[in-house]
Amino acid sequence: MSTDEELVEASQLHWDDVVDVICAGAGPGVLAHAVWCTDLDLDVELADAELSSQTSDPDTAAYLQSMTDDLEPPADRGLELAVVYAKPVVVSKDRRATIEPFFGSRLRDFSARCAASPFGVIYSQIPDNMTSLRAGGETIRAAVLGDYRPETDRPGLELAEWLRGQADERGLLDEAGTVLERLVFEDGRVAGAALSTPDGTRLVRAIVGVALSIGPVPDAADWPVQSGLPSGASQVAVVSRTASRFGLVELLYSS
């Protein structure tokens, strides 16, 4: 019996399908995570959704509230792209790891930016396989998607369209009309989701986890004009922090 079959067999719920990852939300942040997972050869289910703590399903709303209720709204609207100057982590010859101090306030500030931004994403489980980089005196975790060079003064809108094109190239947008109805919980954890499709509701188990984008997506005219971006090529990455369930699409430049 395969691992997928064992999970379904052990569950008390009747699952219609089993995938590695469910990515749901209207923002490009969740598209970025879906692209990264697909490139890792994971089976990805992509669904649309307008998610907020006011969503109609009480369990889903309570979950989102628990993830964000202690976060102060960021000073900005979270629409402008962040730029990160990073370099690879160098491990010393004796392989000793440096334990960095924990800054709860810094992590909360980062989480608040993720929750408010269309480029943000919330994970039900901390994702593996991210690359460790040094940036601004701290170690960050990055899921690098590819090279990118901004060409307009609205790089946020431009990158959102680029991410949609990357998702389309990988066939992630083929299943039109799939919408997340609610998260499904088992043993107190997110186990999957109920997805509305043209053929009815499907209950889908997510082995690796569920990724959600809750930041509102602006209309094209509402993306701010952004100046001061570095010239030259960058890398697009979903950036996170150690032990964080939040991620944010950012542009990486070599430092």
* pLDDT-wise least confident of 40-44, 49-53, 236-240: 49-53
Separation of alpha carbons 196 and 202, rounded Å? 6
Tens digit of each residue's pLDDT (9 = 90 or more) over 196-248: 999 999 999 999 999 999 877 888 888 989 888 888 889 999 999 988 999 99
The pLDDT value given to residue 1: 42
Share of the chain above pLDDT 90, in %: 56
- When the pLDDT of each residue in the chain is averaged and rounded to a whole number, the result is 87
Separation of alpha carbons 29 and 103, rounded Å? 24
Could you tell me if 139 and 100 are in contact, meaning their C-beta atoms sit under 8 angstroms apart? yes
* Confidence band, pLDDT 50/70/90 cuts, at residue 159: very high
Name the residue among 188, 232, 206 with its Cα closest to residue 45.
206
* Confidence band, pLDDT 50/70/90 cuts, at residue 160: very high
Tens digit of each residue's pLDDT (9 = 90 or more) over 109-143: 899 999 989 999 999 999 989 999 999 888 899 99
Separation of alpha carbons 55 and 59, rounded Å? 9
Could you tell me if 42 and 21 are in contact, meaning their C-beta atoms sit under 8 angstroms apart? yes
Could you tell me if 173 and 28 are in contact, meaning their C-beta atoms sit under 8 angstroms apart? no
